[in-house]
Structure 1
Amino acid sequence: MSPFEEDDSDDYWPDEPKEFDPDSIGPKVDIPEAPSFDGDADDDVVQSFWAAVLLANFGLFAASLGLMLVVFQGRYELGGFVFALGALGLLFTYRRYRAFQGQSGDEEGQSESDGPDVADTPDATDDND
């Protein structure tokens, strides 16, 4: 008999099954179901998110392509133009993000980066004499 032929006798490997069952080894684990998402997000939030994603992707692609055109091929005019388009895309992404944060920001109308109010700062001309 050739080593490449199968032996049909049952006593060749008596301890091994005919076919391997992968579920027969390892621990039994119950995998929980993922919670379903209803998609009840506000349309303004969804629209702003996808606009920011697309603008950011365009901006990163164009800025990196422009830099590669300048560095690797020496095409300063085309590379500079494409880089400027990418920078504008990233700028519009940032402006859209900040405008959305201003819409849905805190009730006081002051974000964390605005700094303290004028009433909270001590008067610089006040001398405690």
Structure 2
Amino acid sequence: MPSDFDAWPDEPAEDDPEDRWGDPESDLVTVPTVGESEAEEDEEEPVEIDSELASTFWAVVVLVNVGVAGISLGAMFIYFRGNHLLGGGAAVVGALALFRAYYTYRGFRDEADSDDTDDNRDSDDTDDNRDSDDTDDNRDSDDTDDNRDSDGDSDDDNHGSGDSTTRN
């Protein structure tokens, strides 16, 4: 008697799908690795960041997250639930958090810029003693070429004639 696990005589032989790719372990290209010693990896120095900069950064990150969440949740409460009181309050809190984040960032940036400007002023004391001749803000008698027309003559040739035609 035939067993249930015998192959059917009419059934075709199954192909192994992995046979078409071969042996990937031996067929792939071996990529060389860069020989880094373990001592170099252990000697990484931590980056030192100013504590005021770090605290301002994280404060701005938290305020922006609260602002985006508040505005988006407020809009969803208003639109989907029709709850104008809760949605409006969340949107207002979100907007205030975004404004506070902006002014915190702006204040820190202006403070950092003023510190950089003070440092530059200390090192560039010789640049502050410039002559007034270096700038052309006060134009006076040096601007005589401004009243010349295309042929190089002055426009003031016809002082008393009163007509605006040019002479030939």
**For this structure pair, what is the TM-score category when the shorter chain's length is used for normalisation?**
0.5 to 0.7
Aligned residue identity for 2:117: E
CA distance in 2 between partners of 1:60 and 1:86 (Å): 6
Unaligned segments of structure 2, at least 5 residues: 8-21, 119-134, 138-145, 147-168
Offset at residue 80 of structure 1 (A): 0.3
Q: Does 1:58 align with 2:66?
A: yes
Q: Does 1:107 align with 2:146?
A: no
Offset at residue 75 of structure 1 (A): 0.6
Q: Structure with the greater relative contact order (CA < 8 A, sep ≥ 6): 1 or 2?
A: 1
Aligned to 2:98: 90
CA distance in 2 between partners of 1:85 and 1:43 (Å): 28
For residue 28 of structure 1, give the secondary structure of its aligned residue in structure 2.
coil
CA distance in 1 between partners of 2:6 and 2:117 (Å): 83
Offset at residue 21 of structure 1 (A): 4.3
Unaligned segments of structure 1, at least 5 residues: 4-15, 109-119, 123-127
CA gap 1:37/1:46 in 2 versus in 1, 3 angstroms: farther
CA gap 1:81/1:25 in 2 versus in 1, 3 angstroms: same
Identity %: 28
Offset at residue 39 of structure 1 (A): 2.5
CA distance in 2 between partners of 1:52 and 1:2 (Å): 72
CA gap 1:2/1:100 in 2 versus in 1, 3 angstroms: farther
CA gap 1:49/1:29 in 2 versus in 1, 3 angstroms: farther
Which segment drifts farther, 99-108 or 24-33? 24-33
Aligned residue identity for 2:74: G
Q: Rg: which structure is higher?
A: 2
CA gap 1:64/1:104 in 2 versus in 1, 3 angstroms: same
Aligned residue identity for 1:86: G
For residue 88 of structure 2, give the secondary structure of its aligned residue in structure 1.
helix
Aligned to 1:28: 31
With structure 2 as the length reference, what TM-score do the two structures score? 0.47
Aligned to 2:47: 39
Offset at residue 59 of structure 1 (A): 0.7
Q: Deviations over 1:43-86 (max 9, x none)?
A: 01100000100111111001100001001111111100010000
Aligned residue identity for 2:98: L
Q: Does 1:67 align with 2:75?
A: yes
